[in-house]
Chain A
Amino acid sequence: MVNLYNIRLLSPEIILVMVALMLLLLDLMVRRKEIIAYAGLAGVFISAYVNFRLVALGWSDTSLVGMFMFDGYANFFKLIFYINLALTILISLRYTVIERGALGAYYSLLFFATAGMMLMAGATDLITLYMGLELMALSTYVLAGIIRKELRSSEAAIKYFFLGAFSSAILLYGISLSYGLTGSTNLKEIAAALYKLNLIDNPITVLGLIFFIVAFGFKIALVPFHMWAPDVYEGAPTPVTAFMSIGPKAAGFAVMGRVLFEAFGSLQAEWSYILMVLAVLTMATGSIIALAQTNIKRMLAYSSIAHAGYALLGIIAGTDGGLSSMMNYMFIYIFMNIGAFAIVIMLRSEGVKGENLEDYAGLAKSHPVTSALMLVFMFSLAGIPPTAGFIAKFYVFVEAVRADNVTLVVIAVLFSMVSAFFYLRVVVYMYMKEPKEEAVVTTSVPMSIALAITTVMILFIGVYPFYLLSFVKQSILG
Chain B
Amino acid sequence: MSVPQFFFGYFAVMLIGLSIMVVTRKNPVHSVILMLVLFVHIAGVYLFLNAEFLAAIQIIIYAGAILVMFLFVIMLLDLKKEVTERRFLKPWPLGLVVAGTFMVFITAVLGKLTVFPEPGKYSIDRIQAEGMMMTIGKVLYTEYLLPFEIASLILLVAIIGAIVLAKKRLE
Binding site for B on A (CB under 8 A): 1-2, 10, 17, 24, 63-65, 67-68, 100-102, 105-106, 108-109, 112, 115-116, 119, 125, 127-128, 130-132, 134-135, 138-139, 141-142, 145-146, 148, 157, 180-184, 193, 197-199, 202-204, 207
- Residues of A near B96 (CB, < 8 A) are none
- Report yes or no: B163 in contact with A105, Cβ–Cβ below 8 A: yes
- Given A109-B161, A182-B117, A127–B106 Cβ distance below 8 Å? no
* A121 vs chain B, min Cβ distance (A): 14
Given A134, A181, A182, which contacts B154 in the complex, CB threshold below 8 Å? A134
- Given A134-B154, A197-B115, A207-B106, A183–B120 Cβ distance below 8 Å? yes
A selection of 18 A-B contacts at a CB cut-off of 8 Å is A2-B142, A17-B153, A24-B160, A102-B164, A106-B164, A116-B150, A131-B147, A131-B154, A138-B161, A139-B157, A139-B161, A141-B161, A148-B165, A157-B165, A181-B117, A193-B117, A203-B109, A204-B113
Binding site for A on B (CB under 8 A): 106, 109-110, 112-113, 115, 117-120, 142-147, 150-151, 153-154, 156-158, 160-161, 163-165, 167, 170
* B4 vs chain A, min Cβ distance (A): 19
The residue among A142, A145, A207 with the most chain B CB atoms within 10 A of its own CB is: A142
- Residues of B near A2 (CB, < 8 A) are 142, 145
- Report yes or no: B170 in contact with A101, Cβ–Cβ below 8 A: yes
Q: In the complex the two chains form, what is the Cα distance from A24 to B115 in whole Å?
A: 51
Q: In the complex the two chains form, what is the Cα distance from A177 to B145 in whole Å?
A: 23
- Report yes or no: A131 in contact with B151, Cβ–Cβ below 8 A: yes
- Residues of A near B150 (CB, < 8 A) are 116, 119, 128, 131-132, 135
- Given A68-B146, A102-B164, A127-B147, A199–B157 Cβ distance below 8 Å? no
- Residues of A near B163 (CB, < 8 A) are 105
* A393 vs chain B, min Cβ distance (A): 35
Given contacts A102-B164, A131-B147, A138-B161, 20 further A-B contacts (CB under 8 A): A17-B153, A24-B160, A63-B146, A65-B145, A67-B145, A68-B146, A112-B156, A112-B157, A112-B160, A131-B146, A131-B150, A131-B154, A132-B150, A135-B150, A141-B161, A148-B170, A181-B113, A202-B112, A203-B112, A204-B109
Given A10, A17, A181, A182, which contacts B146 in the complex, CB threshold below 8 Å? A10
Query: Which 3 pairs, one residue from A and one from B, show the smallest C-beta to C-beta distance?
Result: A183-B117, A142-B161, A131-B150
- Given A102-B167, A135-B157, A203-B112, A65–B142 Cβ distance below 8 Å? yes
Q: In the complex the two chains form, what is the Cα distance from A207 to B106 in whole Å?
A: 8
Q: In the complex the two chains form, what is the Cα distance from A146 to B150 in whole Å?
A: 23
- With both beta carbons as reference points, the residue of chain B lying nearest to A142 in the complex is identified as B161
* A66 vs chain B, min Cβ distance (A): 9
Q: In the complex the two chains form, what is the Cα distance from A204 to B107 in whole Å?
A: 10
- Report yes or no: A138 in contact with B158, Cβ–Cβ below 8 A: yes
- Report yes or no: B164 in contact with A142, Cβ–Cβ below 8 A: yes
- Residues of B near A65 (CB, < 8 A) are 142-143, 145
The residue among B106, B110, B113, B115 with the most chain A CB atoms within 10 A of its own CB is: B115
- Residues of B near A130 (CB, < 8 A) are 147
Q: In the complex the two chains form, what is the Cα distance from A447 to B153 in whole Å?
A: 31
- Report yes or no: A183 in contact with B118, Cβ–Cβ below 8 A: yes
- Residues of A near B170 (CB, < 8 A) are 100-102, 148
- Residues of A near B153 (CB, < 8 A) are 17, 112, 115-116, 135
- Residues of A near B144 (CB, < 8 A) are 67, 127
- Residues of B near A207 (CB, < 8 A) are 106, 109
- Residues of B near A64 (CB, < 8 A) are 145-146
Q: In the complex the two chains form, what is the Cα distance from A269 to B142 in whole Å?
A: 37
- Residues of A near B157 (CB, < 8 A) are 109, 112, 135, 138-139, 142
Given B106, B115, B147, which contacts A181 in the complex, CB threshold below 8 Å? B115
- With both beta carbons as reference points, the residue of chain B lying nearest to A67 in the complex is identified as B146
Q: In the complex the two chains form, what is the Cα distance from A183 to B112 in whole Å?
A: 17
- Residues of B near A63 (CB, < 8 A) are 146
* B122 vs chain A, min Cβ distance (A): 11
Given A105, A128, A182, which contacts B164 in the complex, CB threshold below 8 Å? A105
- With both beta carbons as reference points, the residue of chain B lying nearest to A113 in the complex is identified as B157
* B123 vs chain A, min Cβ distance (A): 12
Q: In the complex the two chains form, what is the Cα distance from A116 to B117 in whole Å?
A: 31
- Given A102-B170, A112-B157, A128–B118 Cβ distance below 8 Å? no
* B91 vs chain A, min Cβ distance (A): 14
Q: In the complex the two chains form, what is the Cα distance from A108 to B153 in whole Å?
A: 12
- Residues of A near B143 (CB, < 8 A) are 65, 67
* B89 vs chain A, min Cβ distance (A): 13
- Residues of A near B112 (CB, < 8 A) are 202-204
- Residues of B near A204 (CB, < 8 A) are 109-110, 112-113
- Residues of A near B110 (CB, < 8 A) are 204
- Residues of B near A131 (CB, < 8 A) are 146-147, 150-151, 154
- Residues of B near A139 (CB, < 8 A) are 157, 161
- Residues of B near A67 (CB, < 8 A) are 143-147
- With both beta carbons as reference points, the residue of chain B lying nearest to A119 in the complex is identified as B150
* A155 vs chain B, min Cβ distance (A): 13
Q: In the complex the two chains form, what is the Cα distance from A142 to B163 in whole Å?
A: 10
* A223 vs chain B, min Cβ distance (A): 17
- Given A1-B142, A64-B145, A207-B106, A135–B117 Cβ distance below 8 Å? no
- With both beta carbons as reference points, the residue of chain B lying nearest to A181 in the complex is identified as B117
Q: In the complex the two chains form, what is the Cα distance from A305 to B117 in whole Å?
A: 39
- Given A17-B153, A127-B147, A202-B112, A146–B164 Cβ distance below 8 Å? yes
- With both beta carbons as reference points, the residue of chain A lying nearest to B120 in the complex is identified as A183
Q: In the complex the two chains form, what is the Cα distance from A24 to B159 in whole Å?
A: 12
- With both beta carbons as reference points, the residue of chain B lying nearest to A132 in the complex is identified as B150
- Residues of B near A141 (CB, < 8 A) are 161
* B124 vs chain A, min Cβ distance (A): 15
- With both beta carbons as reference points, the residue of chain B lying nearest to A63 in the complex is identified as B146
- With both beta carbons as reference points, the residue of chain A lying nearest to B143 in the complex is identified as A65
* B99 vs chain A, min Cβ distance (A): 13
